[in-house]
Each structure stands twice: as structure tokens, then as C-alpha cells.
């Protein structure tokens, strides 16, 4: 495969509500250095793709209100590579938009689409998996996803069931949304379920065929602007049609319906960093197993806590507290049990209803 035919799409439009209150509408988690590495999650994702995809072939799809954040954090990225969503409509319209732009630039493209806010601890192994997927997708006219070998029955992830096969690239049998704990245990015990990483690889021809077949209305909507992509008329066209698009994920709208979907079981130290609990597992801890981000935190007889202090002028003290999440920011203080962190998304909804947008 020619290197100039490799393309990347980074989806960076989410709010990251389960990471509230550090992740807020005006500064979502993908634009924050949550791991303290000196890079935001989006910058790390861009550099990871740039290691095997030409930088000029990487597109960022984000909400229009984050255009300046993307430009600040990726100053060498051409403005034409920042695709702006005028409304939040889930991953299918996001990927459709990027696909039409890429087809206009290079109809021979093979594309890897990835979220902007994931952690990958072994990037070389990740690249090897993606390159294997790109070759397979091109040769077999396949829609390929990367599945993560589960280390525990986690209810925070979607699952992919694959058909038994001696080959490394396996046919997908079913996609399952986030299960309850009993089903998650059964999935892990069965040995033929993987966590859904949300990373997709396909040729632009295969993607277009799949959209036309399974999301035809969406395909036709974006196809109407075929002459606008790459011109000054693109923004006006997208501004008109995008809010009318169906709010649907690429998994539900396309991957679950297609009959040429494959998965590569993978294990490269992945986490979607979707929650404070997932972050807890990946950051350094003290002798009491407390993970502390920020300064001015003291703990006494307190264990296994996730503590984030955004305001270094304020002191946080924990006494006889175990297994909780404590996040203190300029706008809000969150204290909740780690075991109840899946409720944070609903808490954010309640805060918006009762207190307005000020705190989110």
C-alpha cells in the first residue's frame, strides 16, 4: 500500500461528561493533559497516527466551538484538515463527513478512524495491528475494527463477539452495547468476546458502499454536496445539512448491519479513559493506593482513592476515606464512590437541569 494512500480521522467532538467536572463543555477531556505527560490526549492520538500516516493526511473532526483549541494544540495542521461539526450528531455523521472529504481528495485512500481521547501504552504494537487491518481491509473489501482482549468483566464497554477462526483477522458475529455485570461476566468467560475499541479501518470505497447500503439517507444527504467538498462552499453546505442528520452511532447504523465486518483481537495497553475509574488504573499511586493528580493533597488512613485537585491554591485533606473519587475544580467539587462512577453522566444531566450550563 502506498503511504500517500493512508489517511487518518480523529473524532474529537465529544464532551466527555463522565469525566466531569474536569471535563466541561468548553474544555473537554481530549484537550486536557489528564495523564500529566505534557501532551493532551488529542495531541498524543495525533502523534500516534502520524508515526505511520502522513501528517497532511490526518483529519480532525470536531465541534465548531473547538476549532481554536485544535488549532492551538496542533498548530501545524492545515485548517482544511479541521472538519467542523455545527451540531452533535454522534459518530455516523462524523465519519460520513470525513469520508466524503477524503474521497474528494483521494479515492484510493485507506482510512483508520479513531477517538481522540484513548490511552495506548504500547504504540508500536498498536501500529502493527492497524497496518495489518489496513492491508486486510484493502485486499478483502472489509470493514475492520480492533477489539481489545478483556481483562475483567467491565460494564463500561461495548463488546464484540467473533466467530472462531485460526486466522488473526476474525469475522464478527455480534456487537453488544454495554451489558450488566452478569452478562459481562458471561462474555469474558466465553472467550469469544472483545471490548469494542471504537477504532475502524476500511478503504474509502468500502466505506462509501456501506453508507450507501445501510445508511442510504445519510449517504444521499452528504452526496448532494459532492461538488462543495474542498471549496469555500463546504462550510455552508455542512452547516445546512448536518443538524438534519440522524443522531446515530457508526456501530448501530452500519457495523451491526454489514456482512463484511472483521475484528483483530488486540492487546496494546488500551483504555478509553472514559471514567475516573479507568484513569485510576493508569496513573501512579502512593503507598495507600491513592492516585493523586495535582498538588496540595494530604491523605490519612485513606486508600484506593482517585483524587484530582485542579486548584493548587486549595488544600484537600482526606481522613479515613476509601474507594472514592474526589475532583475539585474552579467550578465544582465532585465526591462519589468509585463503584458508582457510571452515575456521573446522569449527575451532569441533573446539574444542567437544576443549575443550568454554568457548571458543565
Please name the residue that has the C-alpha cell 482517585.
Answer: 306
Q: Are residues 266 and 283 in the same domain?
A: no
Please tell me whether residues 236 and 306 are part of one structural domain. Answer: no
Q: Are residues 202 and 321 in the same domain?
A: no
Residues whose CB is less than 8 angstroms from the CB of residue 89 and which lie 6 or more positions away in sequence, other chains included = 242, 243, 245, 246, 247, 248
Asked if the model's pLDDT at residue 160 lies above 80, the reply is yes
Angle at 150 between CA 207 and CA 44, to 5 degrees: 60
The domain containing residue 40 runs over which residues? Answer: 3-271
Q: Which of 271, 293, 310 is the last residue of a domain?
A: 271
Same domain flag for 12 and 102: yes
pLDDT of residue 35: 86
CATH at residue 215:
3.90.550.10
Give the pLDDT confidence of 230-270 residue by residue, as tens digits: 999 999 999 999 999 999 999 999 999 999 999 999 999 99
Last residue of a domain, one of 223, 240, 271: 271
296 and 210, same structural domain? no
Computed over every residue of the chain, the mean pLDDT equals: 95
Confidence check: pLDDT of 278 > 90: no
User: Per the structure, how many domains does the chain have?
Assistant: 2
Residues 85 and 179 in one domain: yes
Tell the residue number behind the cell numbers 486486510, with chain if given: 136
Nearest to 11 by CA among 289, 200, 273: 200
pLDDT of 312 above 80: no
Q: Does 168 lie in the same domain as 35?
A: yes
Mean pLDDT in residue range 326-342: 94
- Distance, in Å, from the CA atom of 16 to the CA atom of 274, rounded to the nearest integer, reads 7
Amino acid at each position: 500500500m502506498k503511504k500517500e494512500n493512508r489517511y487518518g480521522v480523529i473524532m474529537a467532538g465529544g464532551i466527555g461528561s463522565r469525566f466531569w467536572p474536569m471535563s466541561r463543555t468548553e474544555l473537554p477531556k481530549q484537550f486536557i493533559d489528564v495523564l500529566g505527560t505534557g501532551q493532551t490526549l488529542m495531541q498524543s492520538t495525533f502523534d500516534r497516527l502520524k508515526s505511520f500516516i502522513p501528517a497532511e493526511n490526518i483529519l480532525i473532526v470536531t465541534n465548531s466551538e473547538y476549532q481554536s483549541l485544535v488549532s492551538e494544540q496542533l498548530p501545524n495542521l492545515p485548517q482544511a484538515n479541521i472538519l467542523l461539526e455545527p451540531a452533535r450528531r454522534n459518530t455516523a455523521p462524523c465519519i460520513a463527513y470525513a469520508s466524503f472529504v477524503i474521497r474528494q481528495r483521494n479515492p484510493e485512500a485507506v482510512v483508520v478512524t479513531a477517538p481522540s481521547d484513548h490511552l495506548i501504552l504500547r504504540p508500536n504494537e498498536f501500529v502493527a495491528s492497524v497496518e495489518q487491518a489496513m492491508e486486510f481491509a484493502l485486499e478483502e473489501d472489509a470493514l475492520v475494527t480492533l477489539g481489545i482482549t478483556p481483562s475483567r468483566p467491565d460494564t463500561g464497554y461495548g463488546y464484540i463477539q467473533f466467530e472462531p477462526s485460526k486466522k488473526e483477522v476474525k469475522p464478527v458475529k455480534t456487537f453488544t452495547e454495554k451489558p450488566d455485570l452478569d452478562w459481562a461476566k458471561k462474555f469474558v468467560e466465553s472467550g469469544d468476546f472483545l471490548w469494542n475499541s471504537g477504532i475502524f479501518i476500511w478503504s474509502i470505497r468500502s466505506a462509501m458502499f456501506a453508507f450507501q447500503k445501510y445508511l442510504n439517507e445519510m449517504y444521499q444527504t452528504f452526496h448532494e454536496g459532492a461538488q462543495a467538498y474542498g471549496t469555500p462552499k463546504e462550510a455552508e453546505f455542512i452547516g445546512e445539512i448536518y443538524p438534519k442528520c440522524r443522531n446515530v452511532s457508526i456501530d448501530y447504523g452500519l457495523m451491526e448491519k454489514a456482512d463484511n465486518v472483521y475484528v483483530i483481537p488486540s492487546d496494546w495497553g488500551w483504555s478509553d479513559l472514559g471514567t475516573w475509574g479507568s484513569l485510576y488504573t493508569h496513573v501512579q499511586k502512593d503507598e495507600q493506593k491513592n492516585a493523586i493528580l495535582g498538588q496540595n493533597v494530604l491523605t490519612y488512613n485513606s486508600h484506593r482513592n482517585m483524587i484530582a485537585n485542579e486548584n493548587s491554591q486549595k488544600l484537600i485533606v482526606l481522613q479515613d476515606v476509601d474507594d472514592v473519587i474526589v475532583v475539585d475544580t474552579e467550578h465544582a467539587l465532585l465526591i462519589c464512590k468509585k463503584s458508582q462512577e457510571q452515575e456521573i453522566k446522569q449527575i451532569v444531566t441533573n446539574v444542567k437541569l437544576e443549575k443550568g450550563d454554568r457548571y458543565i
